[in-house]
Amino acid sequence: MVSFDHRDPGTSEDAWVRAGVLDRPRDLDLDDVAALVVVAAHPDDESLGAGGLVHRLAARGVPVTLVVATDGEGSHPGSATSCDELRVTRRRELLEAVDALAEGSRVFLLGLPDGGLREHREALRVAVGAAVDMSRPTGGAGGPPAAPTGRGAGRTMLCAPWRGDGHRDHRIAGEVVAEVAASRGARLVEYPVWLWHWGDPTGPDVPWEALRALRLTAGEAAAKATAVAAYASQVGPLSPRPGDEAVVGPEMLRHAARPVEVLVETGGTEEVDETHDGRADADRSLGRDFFDRFYTGRADPWGFESRWYEERKREVLLATLPRPRFRAALEIGCSTGVLTVAIETRADRVVGVDIADAPLEIARRRVGSGVKLLRLDTPDQWPEGRFDLVVLSEVLYYYGREDLDRALDRAVGSLTDDGVLVACHWRHEVPEYPLGGDEAQGRVVARPELEVVVHHEEEDFVLDVLARRPARSVAREAGLV
């Protein structure tokens, strides 16, 4: 899963046009479509990604069914508007959009939790399967679909968010629909939404060979524009208050307004570099190429500079350090140097290490003279010297299990006798990472040489400060007890 921020300007439509998005993909063949079932993870996905397809097939008399997994109630987490209010608003907008694209179509609103499709895969699978079965003009599962009036025999087309779109709910919806398509013998097409925002048109993440073009008539483009505009809560601000900003920015609207709707069709056979349960291989570390792609064209992909979550977490980490100042600090996975600068205020000397060049270039413009930055492929490469502070923040889950243990061996070996090690990790599921944050953190606290001095745990992240045994509390070190 790609990490991106919808508030960033994103890749310009001009860049996509220069790369050939309007004329490079082959035309999408619709001759065999007898019924269309469109699955959306959130209201507006269907209009942004496949509104032209829906309108064209509906105008041809092809029956259209829309399955909307969530109500998109989590679109404005920083807003004073409640999730219940957003849920009602987005359902109303959805129905208005559907009327613009394919009036009278069947719509299923599943009401699954926004951001929680991974935990509700089975409910989504059952609903999509039922929608496919109901969409068959014969009315039952297993029977061949009848053709629309005036057309030859055809089959059901399933249309879902592209599995590589970078949004967790989109990926899960796409995976589930692909499974249903395979089990029902349906044709599968996928629509990117956020790819156009975060993607590099010249990079390896764009499936150019699988892209298919639907060249829209003026009427189809107008219907799609009307449907997109119906989502006023997404394409414009809810209010002037902070947290109510538009989710779909100007460049995203330009992508949606292009005269060619671009979808992905692979026959459902493309492989994702993950294990059967959707998680990356837990025995293989993420390599330098992953991070090079991740940082391409993105100055702050993690939101270190813009998100209160990240700012607060840094302050918590600094507050847990058991002494006011350190002689030498080592930070593995320093990225763009935002935490590095904070560590520099507490240490005489800092060494920051990252695997990728791009974030280090940004970090070099940020840090002071007391910081040395190194590009190293850890754990095979490791900085020389010993440190009385080693910081492993949001980095250990990128290692496979064997490399993680080797990294911890080297980190502990870098500690001075009075040194402390800080580990802090995100606890939510990121299937693209080899390990989860809890497992990575558990391997740290299980080290026999170390003892926990501070433990801080929240729903979102866990943080531990450890020292060589026997560890002493801050009060004991200060002689207060």
The C-alpha atoms of residue 465 and residue 419 are separated, in whole angstroms, by: 11
The C-alpha atoms of residue 32 and residue 191 are separated, in whole angstroms, by: 19
The C-alpha atoms of residue 412 and residue 401 are separated, in whole angstroms, by: 17
pLDDT for 140 beyond 80: no
Q: What is the mean pLDDT of residues 87-99?
A: 96
Least confident window among 17-31, 81-95, 171-185, 283-297: 283-297
pLDDT score of 137: 55
pLDDT score of 302: 81
pLDDT score of 267: 62
Band (pLDDT 50/70/90 cuts) for residue 141 is very low
Burial (Cβ within 10 Å: 0-12, 13-18, ≥19) of residue 249: middle
Q: What is the mean pLDDT of residues 248-267?
A: 94
Own/partner pairs, 377-383, CB within 8 angstroms, 24+ separation = 377/288, 378/332, 378/353, 378/407, 378/410, 379/403, 379/406, 379/407, 379/409, 379/410, 382/410, 382/414, 383/330, 383/351, 383/353, 383/414
pLDDT for 400 beyond 50: yes
Least confident window among 264-273, 394-403, 471-480: 264-273
How far is residue 354 from each of residues 77, 168, 287, 415, 440, measured CA to CA in Å? 31, 26, 12, 19, 18
Band (pLDDT 50/70/90 cuts) for residue 301 is confident
Band (pLDDT 50/70/90 cuts) for residue 2 is low
Architecture of domain 13-272: 3-Layer(aba) Sandwich (3.40)
pLDDT score of 343: 98
The distance of Cα 432 from the centroid of its chain, to the nearest Å, equals 9
Average pLDDT of the chain is: 90
pLDDT for 98 beyond 90: yes
| Preceding amide of 470 cis, omega within 30 | yes
Task: Residue 330: name the closest of 223, 273, 410, 256 by CA.
Answer: 410
pLDDT score of 138: 47
Least confident window among 20-29, 266-275, 377-386, 424-433: 266-275
Q: What is the mean pLDDT of residues 101-114?
A: 95
pLDDT score of 43: 97
The answer regarding whether domain 308-477 maps to CATH 3.30.470.10 reads: no
The C-alpha atoms of residue 393 and residue 320 are separated, in whole angstroms, by: 13
Band (pLDDT 50/70/90 cuts) for residue 178 is very high
pLDDT score of 431: 78
pLDDT for 18 beyond 70: yes
The C-alpha atoms of residue 143 and residue 135 are separated, in whole angstroms, by: 11
Give me the percent of the chain exceeding a pLDDT of 70.
93
Q: What is the mean pLDDT of residues 337-359?
A: 97
Residue 232 dihedral angles phi and psi, to the nearest 5°: -60, -30
CB proximity list for 222: less than 8 A, separation 6 or greater: none
Residue ranges per structural domain of the chain: 13-272, 308-477
| Preceding amide of 379 cis, omega within 30 | yes
Which residues, listed in sequence order, are joined to residue 67 by a DSSP beta bridge?
39, 108
pLDDT score of 3: 64
pLDDT score of 280: 67
**According to the 3-state scheme, what is the secondary structure of the chain?**
CCCCCCCCCCCCHHHHHHHCCCCCCEECCCCCEEEEEEEECCCCHHHHHHHHHHHHHHHCCCCEEEEEEECCCCCCCCCCCCHHHHHHHHHHHHHHHHHHHHCCCEEEEEEECCCCHHHHHHHHHHHHHHHHHHHCCCCCCCCCCCCCCCCCCCEEEEEEECCCCCCHHHHHHHHHHHHHHHHHCCEEEEECCCHHHHCCCCCCCCCHHHEEEEECCHHHHHHHHHHHHCCHHHHCCCCCCCCCCCCCCHHHHHHHCCCEEEEECCCCCCCCCCCCCCCCCCCCCCCHHHHHHHHCCCCCCCCCCCCHHHHHHHHHHHHHCCCCCEEEEEEECCCCCHHHHHHHCCEEEEEEEECCHHHHHHHHCCCCCCEEEEECCCCCCCCCCCEEEEEEECCHHHCCHHHHHHHHHHHHHHEEEEEEEEEEEECCCCCCCCCCHHHHHHHHHCCCCEEEEEEEECCCEEEEEEEECCCCCHHHHCCCC
pLDDT score of 273: 41
Q: Is the dihedral of CA 374, 376, 381, 386 positive or negative?
A: positive
Band (pLDDT 50/70/90 cuts) for residue 146 is very low
pLDDT for 96 beyond 60: yes
Topology agreement, domain 13-272 and domain 308-477:
yes
How far is residue 299 from each of residues 6, 74, 194, 362, 373, measured CA to CA in Å? 14, 25, 18, 8, 17
Task: Residue 188: name the closest of 176, 197, 199, 196 by CA.
Answer: 176
188 is written with which tokens?
Answer: 């599968």
Burial (Cβ within 10 Å: 0-12, 13-18, ≥19) of residue 14: exposed
How far is residue 158 from each of residues 51, 65, 268, 339, 399, measured CA to CA in Å? 14, 10, 11, 45, 37
Band (pLDDT 50/70/90 cuts) for residue 144 is very low
Q: What is the pLDDT of residues 443-461, one digit of tens each?
A: 999 999 999 999 999 999 9
pLDDT for 142 beyond 50: no
